[in-house]
Amino acid sequence: MKNALEYDEQNIFAKILRGDIPCGKIYEDEHALAFPDIRPQAPVHILVIPKGKYISAADFNARAPAEALTGFYRAVSEVARQAGVEQNGYRLICNTGPDSHQEVPHFHVHILAGGKLGRMLGPPL
């Protein structure tokens, strides 16, 4: 990641939002865009990103207007509903910052579902 305070216009999700590269869009509204993760970690693995330029959850939660926050988090639930995973359940993951292994410096939420996910994704430190 670049300087955490500086949004990288060349990050892969910025390119997807600009339409520079395809993403296989599965949901879009004024606040959010959702598409399958290119390296799925579960039978259902969807990424939901806000349309604004926010580096991380911390950045989004601190700077986004209330309407963008509400719209985005409602979109996450709507994507899960439309994906048909609401009844059996799903896991939301939001990696934030270097210790979390956040790779793409545009805020995103992972929706993981489609089978028993286990209690944790990795071994404890």
| Active site amino acids | 108
- Binding ligand AMP (rule: CB under 6 A), the pick from 72, 102, 107, 112 is 102
Question: What mask, x for binding ligand AMP by CB under 6 A, covers residues 6 to 45?
Answer: ------x----------x-----------x-xxx------
Spell out the residues 6+ positions from residue 49 whose beta carbon is closer than 8 angstroms to its own: 13, 16, 17, 32, 33, 34, 106, 107, 108, 109
**Would you say 65 or 118 has its CB closer to ligand AMP?**
118
**Would you say 23 or 85 has its CB closer to ligand AMP?**
23
The whole-angstrom separation of Cα 114 and Cα 89 is 8
The whole-angstrom separation of Cα 80 and Cα 32 is 13
**Would you say 38 or 121 has its CB closer to ligand AMP?**
38
Q: How far is the CB of 94 from ligand AMP (least distance, A)?
A: 7
Is the CA virtual torsion 104, 110, 114, 118 positive or negative? Answer: positive
Nearest to 33 by CA among 8, 12, 2: 12
- Supply angle C-alpha 99, 69, 87, rounded to 5: 80
Is 92 an interacting residue with respect to ligand AMP (CB under 6 A)?
A: no
- Binding ligand AMP (rule: CB under 6 A), the pick from 95, 97, 114, 117 is 95
Residues making contact with ligand AMP (CB under 6 A): 12, 23, 35, 37-39, 47, 95, 101-104
